[in-house]
Structure 1
Amino acid sequence: MSVSSPHCSPAEAHPVKTERHDTDAMTHCTNTGLRHVHTYREHTHGLFVARAFDRHPRIRHWQAQLLPTLDVQLCRYDFHQAREHDYYIDIATISRPVGNAAVWEVRDHYLDIIVHEGVTAELVDADELEAAQAAGFVSENEARRAHAAADAVLIGLKLARYHVADWLEAQGVRVEWMQSEGVGQAQSAELMS
């Protein structure tokens, strides 16, 4: 487990990224625009999302598990070239606006964890959270919650020897993934708990 945190000044801070998933409209609204989603699947622990990354220089396809009780968005990417990592975990608050069951909101808390399955996990972008807090984009309580969530994930992954399926199993979480090109043969299409 390692931590990457180069210094980031408040002048470099950026507002919190908030994304919206509309499962009725089959759209994912990001800071870069509105994207079509080919698969949404709600499950006991959250929401599964899958969509293509059209004309992206590095990424071909994205799958994610929105897991509100863990404060994470667990991502798997298919790359055009060699795999850069096995999982990418966004520390985030995931909620559903009252009165709109079709919409899921993901409020990103800057901290991310890069997982190399069975090898290590690395915390990145701690400098971004620090800068955002200094600039007033996040409160002290929100920053504390983000750090606590990241610490829990890192500890859980270490105990699971950096196997995401085992970490999820220890949390009592079951998720399913789509089979796709670029996903390691040793990885199962289904992570069970």
Structure 2
Amino acid sequence: MFLAGADPVRYRMGEAEPVKTERHDVQARQHHTNTGVRPVRTYREHPHGLLVARDFVAHPRIRHWQAHLLPRLGVVVCRYDFHGSREHDYYIDVATITRAGDLWTVRDHYLDLLVHEGLTAEIVDTDELLAAHAAGYIGTPELHHAVATAHRVLAGLARARYSVEGWLGAEGVRVEWLPVTEYATA
């Protein structure tokens, strides 16, 4: 059985990636990713989570990035400033987000939602989730939780007519986005 967005050929080939775990060290103003440590210009804690804003240095497609880590919803809601034309308005990562003091940890659950504000949203990377599960990188309970979260978010977005602000408001969450000039250094 394959879920929407899955690439059956890739899944059968067993191309699996280990779970991506990122850390945000608010005190040190550092974003630890699987490709290195990046300086963060802005961290702002709010009642629903943490706002992160930083440059993407030497990235071929992306200039700047903002994200809200929302532990209760199990998502990271991202906005990108692209070098070229906009590819999507929001990118939502399904994840488990934990906090220990000034250290926030994001365990990615592979599934993502691309949101074209006011138009549509789609779940992507189902093939990655299935391949990771087959390889043992993610257990069955976590797989089920990821699928349930992605579909809950997609249903909420549909009810809000694909408005991220409307969906978050229905969940009792209000976030603010920074103007790029407030966090961009390049």
TM-score class, shorter-chain normalisation, is over 0.9
- Which 5+ residue runs of structure 2 have no aligned equivalent? 182-186
CA distance in 2, matches of 1:88, 1:69: 18
Task: Spell out the pairing of 1:92-103 with structure 2 (5 A cutoff).
Answer: 92-97=95-100, 101-103=101-103
1:57 aligns to what SS in structure 2?
coil
Return closer, same or farther for 1:141/1:174 CA change in 2, 3 Å cut-off.
same
Aligned residues between the structures: 177
Alpha-carbon shift at residue 11 of structure 1 (Å): 2.9
**1:85 maps onto 2:88 in alignment:** yes
Does the Cα contact within 8 Å between 1:10 and 1:134 map onto a contact in 2? no
**1:60 maps onto 2:63 in alignment:** yes
Q: Deviations over 1:127-166 (max 9, x none)?
A: 1111111110011000010011001100000000000010
Give the structure 2 partner of residue 4 of structure 1.
Answer: 5
Give the structure 1 partner of residue 175 of structure 2.
Answer: 175
Alpha-carbon shift at residue 4 of structure 1 (Å): 2.0
- Which 5+ residue runs of structure 1 have no aligned equivalent? 182-193
TM-score normalised according to structure 2 size = 0.93
> RMSD over aligned Cα, in angstroms?
1.3
Out of 22, 46, 53, the residue aligned to residue 25 of structure 2 is 22
**1:70 maps onto 2:73 in alignment:** yes
1:138 aligns to what SS in structure 2?
coil
Could you tell me which amino acid in structure 2 is paired with residue 90 of structure 1? D
Could you tell me which amino acid in structure 1 is paired with residue 114 of structure 2? I
Does the Cα contact within 8 Å between 2:133 and 2:143 map onto a contact in 1? yes
CA distance in 2, matches of 1:131, 1:5: 10
Does the Cα contact within 8 Å between 2:29 and 2:41 map onto a contact in 1? yes
Moved over 2 A (4+): none
Does the Cα contact within 8 Å between 2:14 and 2:134 map onto a contact in 1? no
Could you tell me which amino acid in structure 1 is paired with residue 176 of structure 2? E
Could you tell me which amino acid in structure 1 is paired with residue 25 of structure 2? D
Does the Cα contact within 8 Å between 1:10 and 1:135 map onto a contact in 2? no
CA distance in 2, matches of 1:11, 1:168: 35
Out of 24, 34, 37, the residue aligned to residue 37 of structure 2 is 34
Alpha-carbon shift at residue 10 of structure 1 (Å): 5.9
Does the Cα contact within 8 Å between 1:51 and 1:62 map onto a contact in 2? yes
